[in-house]
Chains A and B, each alone.
Chain A
């Protein structure tokens, strides 16, 4: 996977280490929100917050109209701004690429939230700490696929080790055109999209920025 060879990633190891990533194949996504709900259930995500959600847009003019979906979650970036900015190193990157938060260390300053260009972090209003998608590391560590991947109706979510050339994800990445969200920011996201729609990826498309409703963090 040359594309994801980040200048920031540790390149000192000789043997390629495990690097978990996710592919979202939107030609298979049906916009069912099963991923979002599976994630809520798996991770006890409180009401009002989402680790994963599915944006749905309609585009075009009658009768040439289509619907596009964009499931979004933490990109578990190779160059995570959230990590760089966390003053207490509560958030850190595991060797396998999963960006984690030390729940006991987090001071809840929300700087990581403000810095993340994808708005995927939230303060858990019940526990008052930062949370986000951790690629279900508790499951992955036990050899189980993440909850959203397991249940995805369209099998649009592919998860695995991109450094294992035999893995489904490595092969999928090798043979399909993929993109990431906001690649220009240099965050090196590790959630890759196949057949994602430009307008769905654009946060301001179809949005009047003057009339948008914002949620207080907690």
Chain B
């Protein structure tokens, strides 16, 4: 396959070539003469270490990595240069996977609660005891005739999703709550309604113009490492050799705060939260008004005529948009013109658009920009995801007939996935009785809005009579469980992945153990197979395979991979893609779109059927209308070195980011008489938290921001910023804790910060059901 990256030139013989790296990489910017990735020498002995190719899961980008091992110990995690998405790079979190494996506070043995719930008293038990107890409980559920009273919430790697769904369905419960929605489900719903798949891949490496709404790929994105490296490629100012000067693709960013991305964009436009839709629509208005739209594309591939669309957009003038969003009308005009006349161009939008009450509609408005300019699935444009599908081994348990509000979409008929943050509150409200609740790699007490409420529910033995938490750390939720089962970290497990491909050629990558699972931890696949065998034959018959065989089944439908050697090939190389395949662009021309009309649905009949507006509209957020003087919008955001709640115990990451100040504009701070490092209270209608203020220029004056990932109160001593003695001498060097040395000393550090969830109310977009992470109204008070 040939990827002619715009101007990349291979200088000299890349060291990587000697490693038999495929042609794909010849065009990747790996010009350096030294070997980039895939090899490692010991610092002390100078010997090459044994490489094990695998796949990262310290976030959901699933980059290709290598574990380097010697004498059974994992010494380093490095990048896999042969991985077509991540192309030899790993972010800080991926590198720090090492901390996760050797975290001194890791769960290594099955534990059973002995005291009351939440007292933190445990007894170590054997796996056999654990299986027997869970099997007995599950048997009880089955005998009660209410299989739906068993619910299982889990993480989102594909193998895990598939096998947990299989397990829960085999028991006759529909409550396999396995789709952990990406960025809130709103984006998925919007995409599905509009062009028939729930994902997008902006082809940034080849683009000339990036229009970003509410996204911060330099710090967080579900394709982070693969995505950002291609953005920088398009934005390089560097001359690679005398005759090659890379022209810089323009990047224009709308964000409520100055992020690493917006702070490095050509233009940053601060915007009032939740109003991106009106700006996008005004831009569409301008484009249509000036006749800059791609008529041919609109006529052939959308279900709504440009003229009628123009009529619909008549009210969304730049002037109207300026009033709502605060973005000057002439800027909207200029950017619209630039976007429509620069080809190819693409938008990038994630949480800032979709983690709002109007998330689905807003996302559709942003997508409309790509649609009317004909940038759909073209090189350098806004592309359809390319990925492989996996198979399930026969017999597949039938989808249970029994309905449950937890997995049915209740008031959100258009939602594609279960509303993860609503599961426990629905139990509390009596929508579903629960006998057995299991979580795998899921920590609702920390990661869900109104976390205190979730804690209360988990503590309540009437609501949750039996709770099994499977995790590799003693999370805030596991702490409230009856049984805690140790799971290996992603470094010690075997799973398959097929994330959307940036090179537009689908691929499969394997996560495999770099070292044997530590302690007595058991991977979820093996655990569920074993558990099934402890249940009746009725259940066990669906699990008549080993974990390895299960994976072989999953990829059995991918003919070129099977030919190449299937799982064995993956174990050797870590990743598979068809080396002969050409990048797939404009695939809709042969397949059409997977929507009822086969076209892009600017006019969505599905929305209409459910009583929503069928066209992309700006739907104001109720929070805006009731914002009183003195009230501010609180938005939250991801940190560049953390992933939600799974990285706080990685000491190299927490060392960099461990405090969660509230970012506040200098003018606003002045009016509140707040200065940097002052302690302030942030108060919402559901609670209040205390943290320090960081006064900055780069945030909208009506907005304050607090990050995710800090402020753990369980999870391990690193996450809680406690210094301690352990095998790892670094644990006694932890310097950011708040302990004092000597009676006269100042506290040495700032501590582990706060987390914003207790003050974020549970609230959903009425269409997509996704949590409104960015719609909290708060007041700030100096303490």
Contacts and interface: CB of A to CB of B under 8 A. Distances in A.
A and B found bound together: yes
A180 interface: no
A30 B610 CA distance: 43
A195 to B, nearest CB: 6
Given A41-B98, A65-B263, A139-B41, A152 B32 contact: no
A23 B80 CA distance: 23
B59 to A, nearest CB: 12
Contact of B698 (A58, A155, A156, A175): A58
Interface stretch (B86-94, B156-164, B182-190, B359-367): B86-94
B686 interface: no
B276 interface: no
Interface string B232-263: 11011111111000001000000000111101
A2 interface: no
Interface string B15-50: 100000000000001011111110111110010100
Interface string B639-651: 0110000000001
Interface string B646-662: 00000111011000000
B219 interface: yes
Given A65-B258, A166-B11, A175-B241, A155 B232 contact: yes
A58 B696 contact: yes
A61 B697 contact: yes
A27 B239 contact: no
A147 B78 contact: yes
Range of interface residues on A (Cβ < 8 Å): 35 or more
Contacts of A194: 237-238
Interface string A104-127: 000000000000000000000110
A42 B238 contact: no
A153 interface: yes
Contact of A30 (B34, B232, B666): B232
Nearest to B48: A142
Interface in A41-88: 41-44, 46-48, 56, 58, 60-63, 65-69
B235 A38 contact: no
Given A62-B665, A160-B34, A168-B11, A46 B232 contact: no
Contact of B90 (A43, A151, A164, A195): A151
A144 to B, nearest CB: 5
A28 interface: yes
A17 interface: no
B304 to A, nearest CB: 36
B32 A48 contact: no
Contacts of A67: 258-260, 263-264, 698
B31 A30 contact: no
B771 to A, nearest CB: 26
Contacts of A172: 238-240
Contacts of A130: none
A47 B733 contact: yes
Contacts of B173: none
B258 A31 contact: no
A138 interface: yes
Interface of A is mostly: mixed
Contact of B238 (A28, A62, A63): A28
B33 A155 contact: no
B218 interface: yes
B36 A145 contact: yes
A28 B42 CA distance: 30
A30 B221 CA distance: 13
Interface string B550-585: 000000000000000000000000000000000000
Contacts of B666: 62
B600 interface: no
B32 A154 contact: no
A168 B33 contact: yes
A168 B98 CA distance: 32
A199 interface: no
Max chain B C-beta neighbours (<10 A), residue from A47, A141, A145: A47
Contacts of B231: 30
B33 A161 contact: yes
A110 B6 CA distance: 49
A176 B238 contact: yes
A58 B229 CA distance: 22
A154 B228 contact: yes
Contacts of B42: 138
Interface in B657-712: 665-667, 696-699, 701
Interface in A1-47: 25, 27-34, 36-38, 40-44, 46-47
Nearest to B14: A168
B77 interface: yes
A66 B263 CA distance: 4
B695 to A, nearest CB: 11
Contacts of B31: 168
A138 B264 contact: no
Contacts of A37: 92, 95-96, 641, 652-653, 656
Nearest to B665: A62
Contacts of A36: 92, 652, 656
B238 A25 contact: yes
Contacts of B652: 36-37, 40-41, 47
A117 B710 CA distance: 34
B89 A151 contact: yes
B270 interface: yes
A171 interface: yes
Contacts of A167: 11-12, 32-33
A129 interface: no
A90 interface: no
A181 interface: no
Nearest to B10: A168
Contacts of B697: 58, 60-62, 65
B534 interface: no
Nearest to B654: A47
B79 interface: yes
Given A32-B228, A143-B34, A155-B29, A66 B78 contact: no
B228 A30 contact: yes
A150 B36 contact: yes
A144 B218 contact: no
Interface string B319-350: 00000000000000000000000000000000
A62 B239 CA distance: 32
A161 B40 CA distance: 20
A63 B40 contact: no
B742 interface: no
B730 interface: yes
Nearest to A148: B95
Contacts of B264: 30-31, 66-67
Interface in B725-744: 729-730, 733-735
Contacts of B640: 31-33
Contacts of A31: 218-219, 260, 264, 640
B658 to A, nearest CB: 11
A174 to B, nearest CB: 7
Interface string B71-114: 00000111100000000111110111010000000000000000
Contact of B258 (A33, A58, A168, A174): A58
Contact of B41 (A48, A62, A65, A144): A144
Nearest first, the 6 A-B pairs at minimum CB distance are: A67-B263, A27-B237, A154-B232, A145-B34, A37-B92, A30-B218
Given A30-B228, A40-B652, 5 more contacts: A27-B238, A37-B653, A65-B698, A169-B32, A171-B11
29 contacts: A27-B236, A27-B248, A28-B235, A28-B236, A28-B237, A32-B218, A32-B219, A32-B640, A46-B730, A58-B698, A62-B665, A63-B268, A66-B268, A139-B40, A143-B34, A143-B35, A144-B34, A145-B35, A149-B34, A150-B37, A153-B225, A153-B229, A158-B32, A160-B33, A167-B11, A168-B31, A171-B240, A175-B242, A176-B238
Interface of A: 25, 27-34, 36-38, 40-44, 46-48, 56, 58, 60-63, 65-69, 125-126, 138-145, 147, 149-156, 158-161, 164, 166-169, 171-172, 174-176, 194-195
